[in-house]
Structure 1
Amino acid sequence: MIQQYLRRQQDESNDYKPVFYDLKQTQDLQAFEALLTSRPHIRINDNIYSQLRELMKIRNPTKRLTAEEYEEKIQSYLGDIPIEKFGIWVYYSWIDRLVHLVDEADFIELRTSRNQHKITAAEISVLSKKKIGIVGLSVGQSIALTLVMERICGELRLADFDNLELTNMNRIRCGVHNIQTSKVVIAAREIAELDPFIKVKIFKDGMTEANMDEFFTADGVLDVFVEECDGVDIKILSRIKAKELKIPVVMEMNDRGMIDIERFDLEPERPLMHGLIPEVDIATLKGLTDAEKLPIFSPMLALENASAKMKFSLGEIGKTITTWPQLASSVVLGGALVADTCRRIILDQLKSSGRYYIDFEQLIV
């Protein structure tokens, strides 16, 4: 009997793009009604009124509105449009849920209202047009979600070839039902649930020599490239491409709060990774074990400056552990550091290259 039930397990889909329905459009209305008919158990979240109430509140910051004034302003804003047709309905197929939202402009106004004036309206407008690419979705997931929560870009390109394993969940925020789901799909879904209007493009095979041009340039050149991958060859090749295209590169090491910045946009002749890449034949770097990567990574990442526990752990790879450790606290810190750095680069508030440490063990003693 149990085996019969277990055979019901369905293969996980790779859907990550929400579907939008504007019920003011006849075709969308018909498709929406068909969806409701075909999915009788669909979960519906219709909290459009609370969003409109918040919109009226932030547009009238100097006045405490009464219930009657809220109602009057909302009705005036709706005009002749029935509230169920106002804004947009968003369907998330992977959780079989419909959500009623205000339209994109109102959504952005609401989503960024608590950023004011740390990020100004003019800056929000600039950021919304920018494209950021991230390779490596362990630290990269935290970075991506922080970028989206602050709305530091309008488009994200995500690359990682790996599926989630239970061992990854010490630093990747997701549920256990995501085991064996693509890391980029997990991140893209989380982004869509945070902000369905941000464009996301995924590369499930990771970054490769074959898709590198597409990753960096398709539908517009990246404004910032965030490199968080384990592949030594891609670490180097992606920087060669970024330098060629004059794209700034940001990397976070996940130890001692080290963040690395290469401003190829301002310094096109700057040596890759500050001149720390050893002389190697890139063709020989594919498929190395973590232990084999260490002699190459060591000068690139200045591992002599790593924390004592990280240095010890590196010596244990292939003995008592299989790869280098990462902690959720460091990953979350990395998300904050990279997001803040990307925002300041895009807004021309940070012009330097170099390596910087936010080492809690030194700062908080």
Structure 2
Amino acid sequence: MLQSSINASGNSSIYRPVYYRIHDQEDERKLHALIKNNPDILIYDTIYTQLTELIRLQHPTQRPDASATAILISEHAGKDLKSYGVWVYYPWSKKLVHLLDEEEFVFVRTSRNIYKITPEEIQILRNKKIGIIGLSVGQSIALTLATERTCGELRLADFDEIELSNMNRIKVGVAELGLNKAIVAARQIAELDPFIDVKCFTSGVNAQNINSFFTEDGKLDILVEECDGIDIKILSRIKAKSLGIPVIMDTNDKGMLDVERFDLEPERPIFHGKVPELEAYSEEELTDKLRTLTIPEKIEYLARIIGFENLSPAMLRSVSEMNKTIVGWPQLASAVTLGGAMITDVSRKILLQQFSVSGRFFVDFDELVQEDKNTIK
């Protein structure tokens, strides 16, 4: 059972819902007190509709009509539907939602995945842990992973806050400006599926918490690295390699996807061997070196890691205009969304042992979709 708590430091730091199973008298008392003390709570109770769908899925060949469904629901859930399932409270929006409890909720919510993902594979994925560093590009990845239910736990790390200019590719509302990016993503996941365990690292990943991010409550199964800082980009790979954790990165240009299977290739150099000198340092020496990098040195490392030959003409122009006419790395919503799809697909295949290679891959729409490639006659 997931543990829930409300952070006393303020509403902006809350991202975990609160669960009330009112067949338990203590939970029933607490729920009544919550409603009494918060008259502006919005209550959503669609449990009968959810049970209807559950019954239909449990009897796929029968197709019971409304009256037969009502009988089956009564037999399954009893007469007191108010006490069935779980009531989930979202403190940040003051919404109280009546849901099927975890096992039935997951069964119904993932039913349209079958048989693209088998029931046995769904159960395997429920026990997997994925960490994401960087919740700008990473937000689309986190939401796609959660929507497809590719894992049972997500660890989200970002120290940055939502700014107005982020809204060209991050799916947020204007009321969420100023909130931490990891918190916003965690709330969206909780409202999609309150049974996915989400842990937020709102200071990002750093030397003080990197061990906790990678190993606390169980080692990560996959690291998705999408951060802007070259130091954490490198340090997180060194840590992942030492722990035998595969790393996936979407570069958000030309559909470029990097996969590093440190779980299968423990001696594999980071970044496909493009910066071999960095692996000669100890963790402390590397941290000191990366902390003192100048802007030109950081750009040089990025150029070697990504390869300017792999950038689109538009991105190359953007790089040349950095800190002249633009102040940030350009990212488009369409490319970010594609990254979410690619990383979710590859993550699922890695976790289910259906994909076993490292490498750099491209899903470049400028190459794939062209006027002269129209093959329909």
Match of 1:348 among 325, 347, 353: 353
**CA distance 1:232–1:278, change in 2 (3 Å):** farther
**Which amino acid in the other structure matches residue 70 of structure 1?**
T
**1:58-69 pair list within 5 angstroms:** 58-69=57-68
Q: Is the 8 Å Cα contact of residues 16 and 192 (structure 1) preserved in structure 2?
A: yes
Q: Is the 8 Å Cα contact of residues 270 and 276 (structure 2) preserved in structure 1?
A: no
**DSSP 3-state at the match of 1:298:** helix
**1:166-315 pair list within 5 angstroms:** 166-277=164-275, 279=277, 282-286=287-291, 293-315=298-320
**Which amino acid in the other structure matches residue 93 of structure 1?**
P
**Which amino acid in the other structure matches residue 99 of structure 2?**
L
**CA distance 1:69–1:291, change in 2 (3 Å):** farther
Distance 2:251 2:292 in 1: 21
Pair 1:339-2:344 in alignment: yes
Q: Is the 8 Å Cα contact of residues 140 and 170 (structure 2) preserved in structure 1?
A: yes
| RMSD (Å) for aligned C-alpha atoms | 1.5
**Which amino acid in the other structure matches residue 48 of structure 2?**
Y
Between the two proteins, what is the percent identity of the paired residues? 53
Q: Is the 8 Å Cα contact of residues 15 and 94 (structure 1) preserved in structure 2?
A: yes
**CA distance 1:308–1:227, change in 2 (3 Å):** same
Q: Is the 8 Å Cα contact of residues 264 and 270 (structure 1) preserved in structure 2?
A: yes
Give the structure-2-normalised TM-score: 0.91
**DSSP 3-state at the match of 1:285:** helix
- How far apart are residue 304 of structure 1 and its match? 1.8
**Alignment correspondent of 1:46:** 45
**Alignment correspondent of 1:73:** 72
Distance 1:111 1:234 in 2: 35
**CA distance 1:66–1:338, change in 2 (3 Å):** same
Give the structure-1-normalised TM-score: 0.94
Distance 1:291 1:123 in 2: 46
Q: Is the 8 Å Cα contact of residues 269 and 276 (structure 2) preserved in structure 1?
A: no
Distance 1:288 1:177 in 2: 36
**Alignment correspondent of 1:358:** 363
**Alignment correspondent of 2:283:** none
- How far apart are residue 293 of structure 1 and its match? 2.6
Pair 1:19-2:18 in alignment: yes
Distance 1:289 1:327 in 2: 27
Q: Deviations over 1:117-138 (max 9, x none)?
A: 0000000000000000000001
Q: Is the 8 Å Cα contact of residues 225 and 250 (structure 1) preserved in structure 2?
A: yes
Give the length in aligned residue pairs: 355
- How far apart are residue 295 of structure 1 and its match? 1.4
- How far apart are residue 12 of structure 1 and its match? 4.9
**1:26-37 pair list within 5 angstroms:** 26-37=25-36
Distance 1:289 1:335 in 2: 31
**DSSP 3-state at the match of 1:146:** helix
Q: Is the 8 Å Cα contact of residues 142 and 334 (structure 1) preserved in structure 2?
A: yes
Match of 1:325 among 323, 330, 339: 330
Q: Is the 8 Å Cα contact of residues 310 and 325 (structure 1) preserved in structure 2?
A: yes
Q: Is the 8 Å Cα contact of residues 233 and 283 (structure 1) preserved in structure 2?
A: no
Q: Which runs of 4+ in 1 moved over 6 A?
A: 287-291
Q: Is the 8 Å Cα contact of residues 291 and 317 (structure 1) preserved in structure 2?
A: no
**CA distance 1:154–1:348, change in 2 (3 Å):** same
Distance 1:290 1:25 in 2: 58
**Alignment correspondent of 1:7:** none
**Alignment correspondent of 1:4:** none
Distance 2:313 2:170 in 1: 24
Distance 2:242 2:229 in 1: 20
**DSSP 3-state at the match of 2:62:** coil
**Which amino acid in the other structure matches residue 85 of structure 1?**
S
**CA distance 1:317–1:287, change in 2 (3 Å):** farther
**CA distance 1:313–1:278, change in 2 (3 Å):** farther
Distance 1:240 1:278 in 2: 12
- How far apart are residue 290 of structure 1 and its match? 6.4
Q: Is the 8 Å Cα contact of residues 290 and 317 (structure 1) preserved in structure 2?
A: no
Q: Is the 8 Å Cα contact of residues 278 and 300 (structure 1) preserved in structure 2?
A: no
Q: Deviations over 1:225-262 (max 9, x none)?
A: 00000111111111111011000000000001111000
- How far apart are residue 282 of structure 1 and its match? 4.7
Q: Is the 8 Å Cα contact of residues 257 and 333 (structure 1) preserved in structure 2?
A: yes
Q: Is the 8 Å Cα contact of residues 162 and 182 (structure 1) preserved in structure 2?
A: yes
**Which amino acid in the other structure matches residue 260 of structure 2?**
E
**Alignment gaps of 5+ in structure 2:** 1-9, 279-285, 371-377
**DSSP 3-state at the match of 2:291:** coil
**CA distance 1:167–1:303, change in 2 (3 Å):** same
Q: Is the 8 Å Cα contact of residues 278 and 299 (structure 1) preserved in structure 2?
A: no
- How far apart are residue 287 of structure 1 and its match? 7.6
Distance 1:334 1:289 in 2: 29
- How far apart are residue 301 of structure 1 and its match? 1.1
- How far apart are residue 303 of structure 1 and its match? 2.4
**Alignment gaps of 5+ in structure 1:** 1-10
**Which amino acid in the other structure matches residue 318 of structure 2?**
S
**CA distance 1:325–1:292, change in 2 (3 Å):** farther
Distance 1:262 1:210 in 2: 25
